[in-house]
Amino acid sequence: MKSIDPDELFELSRRFMASRVLLSGFELGVFTALGCGPRTSAQVAAAVKADARATDRLLDALVVLGLLRKSAGRFCNGPAAARRLVAGRPGYMAGLGHSASLWRTWSTLTESVRQGRGILKEPVGRRGAAWFSSFIAAMHERARQTADAVVSRLDLRGVSQVLDVGGGSGAYAMAFARAKPSLRATVFDLPQTAVLTRGYIRKAGLSGRVDVRVGDYEKDALPRGYDLALLSAIIHSCSPAGTQRLFRKCARALNPGGRIVVQEFVVNESRTAPAFAVYFALNMLVGTQAGDTYTESEIRAWMRQAGFGAIRRQDTPFETALITGHL
């Protein structure tokens, strides 16, 4: 277990400052404003409609972080910012908008620990279009880098119909379609998400093989007739009871002999590793009413209760584990 030097405590307490500087630069659009070349801080302030003095100080801080460069009173993007933070460029990290949303929810951590649940007033289904757009963009950015590699680890013999529950942008459903030309996939998600999902699928040229069904997996029955049900980064939003109900819904959605695949950040039995999964449990605390990260033994038990057997685990290179069960 990692031990921290007492002299590092003060530095640790202030690391949020660098993160906030990056996110404010992103939210204001300063990197995009500098995408056409060097500008003074006054020119950047005018472009992003912000105060000139305050913008100058923010740009100086971005220089300290190594994201911008400054010469003769003019600022320009550094290599990382030019490649990943300018809107419209191929490598643009649109998902940082979701990181900015996380900043706001994580600011409630103290009170969430006191109350034992997230204290956000609006449930996910009622959040605005801007929140959904940045959230799905963030999930798509991560998924498009991992989906093909994850799906390649699965045995798709006998699988012709896949149900991607809460599939977001459809990145995994599309990866299944690419992996096996005869396969068709369905993304099941909320109406606000489905509008975005269809756009991602259309852009990938897979509208003929990947379709979208609208519904709420917490409240609605899942469509039936599938050989494989995927729950990728889903159960951490659910309570233990909600996860058990969802596994039973998946069992009813599957054909005889079908299988369930859960991809998750799985914590060890002491709940102290891996680090990302431990922190993610707090992310679910501040962002949901009852979400959490779970141990392998918990997931296995809930699968068995839903009628699944031959349960096995595969670890991925992406801080996740695949836990598969068969009817």
pLDDT digits (tens, 9 = 90+) for 200-229: 999 999 999 999 999 999 999 999 999 999
Pairing mode, if any, of strands 210-214 and 226-232? unpaired
Domain with CATH 1.10.10.10 in the chain: 6-91
- Taking residue 42's Cβ as centre, other Cβ atoms within 10 Å add up to 13
Q: Among residues 231, 164, 222, which one has the least CA distance to residue 197? A: 164
CATH architecture of the domain with range 109-326: 3-Layer(aba) Sandwich (3.40)
Domain with CATH 3.40.50.150 in the chain: 109-326
pLDDT attached to residue 97: 84
Q: What is the pLDDT of residues 116-146, one digit of tens each?
A: 998 876 666 566 677 677 778 878 888 888 9
The CATH number of 6-91 is 1.10.10.10
Whether residue 251 has pLDDT greater than 80? yes
pLDDT attached to residue 125: 55
